[in-house]
């Protein structure tokens, strides 16, 4: 029987699962107890590691001594659920006990992460379980190359892993390798097509479901459930019904039949992802119905099969009049969904972007998490770096995501976002068919970090970064590890420094969103304004004089954000329009802060490039060259951001840089 473990095509980077990462596991004597497809995956992984490093694997023996025991034991591990596992080390044996097959797979990768530490000393029994049942990546992949968005919308790592030349890829070995990488960091679900469902992708639901089944088969050995983005208008587009009204009996029957067909082809199918009544996508508003009506119709179709509908809460008016300051895009998700709290079915999950706008480098946490206490919500982040350098800039997002997941909408004694997001954690994928998976090899750290934070939202992101370094560069000297920490740990704040200041956001080139354009969206219908004039900058979102967005938060946040005096500096311009001479808590004026941070940001990127250049003797040549090329571009881009932003505000405000540096 062929091994489950995929063989990477020549030239494809192994990312955080290089062979050496399995050295400690593969040099031991291991007993595996249990049966089932995922247990066979575990067996194949251990067998391959032993073949490479001299160990031995035994199946279902009852006596003898072993370095490692991996066992499915039913009730013995029931306390941690189907995906959790118990870990302990005593009397010279490391034991992983799982109630379910998925738990054994995750327990195996836990041992791989620990390396030699898994076989040292003693450890009392530890219970490991994921915080939520769903940890998903949304691929914005198009089956056919879209004339505007290309193969992958907001994709910065080549073409799709799943689709090529208008069809599912025939060779699924790399898809299986992708599933392996995801399982190793805790991801258990993938949506395989764009949330903006075009005509070709619509057919994946019905007459092309066999292609989705082919992808699902490749992902299944690593416990990855497949999800599908569908168009709300499918009964009209595919079924030729005159309506897609969610309360129409014929429409509901059509969806029930479609769901049945999907589960007949893919028995472990996860469910649907839906973008409706947003940015021109069809939805229930056309029929005078609510989002709850729309989501519940699909939930009913999926319920007999334990499927879930993920209904995205990214809904707003994208045809705003820039002259109208009363309309505020930031308010939209709360205004649409807070009144519907408690009206969604149990298998309907609202997928909420972590901030109220659109994955900016700095936003407040969305108030929707505090408003929906009777609705299952999932938190959505963006691993693909649409607004954070597009994987041409090194920008590790772990600290940002950790801040979001640790935020307590109800105040100090309340639950965190990570605890409130009972519907799961979702990231827009940053992977493609690039040899390095993520285009920029260091962007692999974002994909890995998402999976580990989805498993445990309160984990220390810096420890996760160290995990990624140790796996990706096994046996690396401390000089390499220290260099990687140096260039990544503060890279998000560095990117923030040389781009949009103090939470203002969206100072990007329209359309492709790469590079600076301070007024790029200032007069657009998309509702992404900063209102800079000769006197000041920022959006007044206070309840007293502005759009009222600040009042969507509970206490203490609404009071904190309401006043420019108490508002945190990093969010000041998101919540308030202030003069350029306004003094921040740092003691600097807004104008001087803009100048200083943009100069600092460039200096920090230049230093990161220097550090990376000094690691050339410790990194594989191809990987080092790719990162070096990306750092050259990041330095160029950072300088362009610095000069355009600083020049814009010097000319707008007339306030000189107190340090006399060159501003054009």
pLDDT band at 77 (very low <50, low <70, confident <90, very high): confident
pTM beyond 0.95: the answer is yes
The answer, yes or no, to whether residue 75 has pLDDT greater than 90, is no
- Model pLDDT for residues 13-46, shown as the tens digit of each residue: 999 999 999 999 999 999 999 999 999 999 999 9
**CATH class as words, domain 496-539+577-653:** alpha beta
Q: Which CATH superfamily is domain 135-472 in?
A: Glycosidases (3.20.20.80)
- Model pLDDT for residues 230-262, shown as the tens digit of each residue: 999 999 999 999 999 999 999 999 999 999 999
The single-letter DSSP state of residue 427 is: E
Q: What is the dihedral of CA 513, 518, 520, 526, to 10 degrees?
A: 80
Dihedral of CA 164/167/168/173: which sign? negative
Task: Report d(CA 238, CA 203) in Å as an integer.
Answer: 7
The answer, yes or no, to whether residue 63 has pLDDT greater than 80, is no
Rounded to the nearest integer, the mean pLDDT of the chain is 97
- Model pLDDT for residues 351-394, shown as the tens digit of each residue: 999 999 999 999 999 999 999 999 999 999 999 999 999 999 99
3-state secondary structure 448-512: HHHHHHHHCCCCCHHHHHHHHHHHHCCCCCHHHHHHHHHHHCCHHHHHHHHCCCCCCCCCECCCC
Q: Residues 259-284: what's their mean pLDDT?
A: 97
Distances from the Cα of 633 to the Cα of 46, 361, 390, 499, 606, angstroms = 41, 19, 11, 15, 11
The answer, yes or no, to whether residue 80 has pLDDT greater than 80, is yes
- Model pLDDT for residues 506-544, shown as the tens digit of each residue: 999 999 999 999 999 999 999 999 999 999 999 999 999
**Which pLDDT value is given to residue 508?**
98
Residues with a catalytic annotation lie at 279, 358, 386
The answer, yes or no, to whether residue 475 has pLDDT greater than 90, is no
For residues 271 and 302, the answer to whether their CB atoms sit within 8 Å is yes
The answer, yes or no, to whether residue 99 has pLDDT greater than 80, is yes
- Model pLDDT for residues 585-603, shown as the tens digit of each residue: 999 999 999 999 999 999 9
| Residues above pLDDT 70, as percent of the chain | 100
Structure tokens of 255?
């969806």
Q: Residues 208-212: what's their mean pLDDT?
A: 98
Same topology, domains 19-128 and 135-472? Answer is: no
Task: Report d(CA 379, CA 417) in Å as an integer.
Answer: 8
- Model pLDDT for residues 312-334, shown as the tens digit of each residue: 999 999 999 999 999 999 999 99
pLDDT band at 1 (very low <50, low <70, confident <90, very high): low
Strand (E) or helix (H) holding 157? none
**Which pLDDT value is given to residue 64?**
85
The answer, yes or no, to whether residue 470 has pLDDT greater than 90, is yes
**CATH class as words, domain 19-128:** alpha beta
pLDDT band at 460 (very low <50, low <70, confident <90, very high): very high
Task: Report d(CA 329, CA 336) in Å as an integer.
Answer: 11
Q: Where are the domains of the chain?
A: 19-128, 135-472, 496-539+577-653
């Amino acid at each position: 029987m062929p091994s489950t473990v995929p063989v990477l095509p020549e030239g494809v980077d192994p990312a955080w699962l290089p062979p050496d990462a399995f050295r400690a596991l593969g040099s031991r004597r291991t007993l595996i107890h249990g049966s089932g497809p995922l247990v066979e995956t575990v067996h194949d992984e251990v067998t391959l590691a032993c073949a490479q490093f001299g160990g031995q694997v035994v199946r279902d023996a009852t006596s003898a001594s072993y370095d490692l025991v991996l066992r499915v034991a039913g009730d013995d591990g029931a306390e941690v659920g189907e995906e959790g596992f118990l870990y302990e080390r005593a009397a010279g044996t490391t034991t992983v006990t799982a109630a379910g097959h998925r738990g054994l797979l995750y327990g195996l990768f836990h041992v791989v992460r620990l390396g030699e530490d898994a076989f040292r000393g003693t450890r009392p029994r530890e219970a490991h379980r994921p915080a939520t049942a769903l940890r998903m990546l949304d691929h914005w992949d198009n089956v056919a190359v879209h004339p505007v968005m290309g193969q992958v919308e907001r994709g910065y790592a080549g073409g799709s892993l799943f689709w090529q030349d208008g069809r599912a890829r025939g060779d699924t070995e790399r898809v299986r390798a992708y599933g392996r990488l995801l399982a190793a960091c805790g991801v258990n679900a993938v949506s395989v097509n764009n949330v903006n469902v075009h005509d070709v992708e619509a057919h994946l639901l019905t007459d092309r479901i066999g292609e989705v089944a082919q992808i699902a088969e490749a992902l299944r050995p690593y416990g990855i459930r497949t999800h599908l983005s569908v168009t709300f208008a499918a009964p009209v587009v595919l079924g030729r019904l005159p309506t897609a009204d969610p309360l129409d009996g014929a429409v509901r029957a059509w969806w029930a039949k479609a769901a049945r067909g999907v589960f007949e082809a893919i028995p472990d199918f996860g469910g649907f992802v839906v973008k409706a009544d947003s940015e021109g996508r069809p939805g229930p508003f056309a029929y005078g119905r609510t989002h709850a009506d729309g989501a519940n119709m699909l939930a009913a179709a999926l319920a007999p099969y334990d499927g879930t509908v993920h209904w995205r809460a990214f809904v707003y008016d994208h045809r705003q009049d820039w002259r109208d300051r009363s309309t505020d895009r930031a308010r939209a998700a709360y205004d649409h969904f807070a009144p519907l709290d408690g009206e969604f079915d149990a298998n309907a999950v609202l997928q909420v972007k972590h901030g109220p706008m659109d994955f900016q480098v700095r936003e407040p946490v969305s108030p929707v998490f505090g408003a929906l206490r009777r609705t299952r919500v999932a938190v959505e982040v963006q691993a693909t770096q649409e607004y954070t350098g597009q994987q041409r800039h090194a920008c590790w997002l772990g600290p940002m995501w950790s801040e979001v997941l640790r935020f307590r909408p109800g105040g100090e004694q309340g639950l965190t976002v990570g605890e409130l997001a009972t519907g799961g954690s979702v990231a827009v994928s940053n992977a493609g068919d690039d040899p390095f998976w993520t285009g920029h090899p260091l962007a692999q750290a974002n994909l890995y970090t998402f999976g580990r934070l989805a498993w445990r939202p309160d984990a220390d992101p810096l420890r996760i970064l160290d995990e990624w370094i140790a796996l990706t560069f096994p046996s690396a000297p401390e000089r390499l590890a220290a260099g990687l920490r140096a260039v990544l740990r503060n890279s998000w704040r560095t990117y923030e420094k040389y781009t949009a200041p103090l939470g203002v956001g969206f100072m990007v080139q329209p359309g492709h969103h790469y590079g600076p354009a301070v007024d790029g969206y200032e007069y657009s219908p998309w509702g992404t304004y900063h209102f800079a004039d000769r006197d000041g900058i920022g959006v007044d979102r206070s309840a007293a004089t502005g759009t009222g967005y600040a009042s969507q938060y509970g206490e203490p946040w609404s009071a904190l954000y309401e006043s420019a005096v108490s508002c945190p500096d990093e969010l000041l311009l998101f919540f308030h329009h202030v003069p350029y001479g306004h003094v921040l808590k740092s003691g600097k004026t807004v104008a001087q802060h803009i100048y200083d941070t943009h100069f600092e940001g460039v200096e920090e990127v230049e230093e990161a490039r220097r550090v990376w250049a000094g690691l050339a003797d410790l990194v594989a040549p191809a990987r080092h060259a790719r990162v070096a090329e990306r750092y050259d571009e990041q330095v160029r881009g950072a300088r362009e951001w610095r000069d355009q932003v600083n020049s814009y505000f010097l000319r707008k405000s007339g306030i000189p840089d107190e340090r006399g540096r060159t501003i054009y």
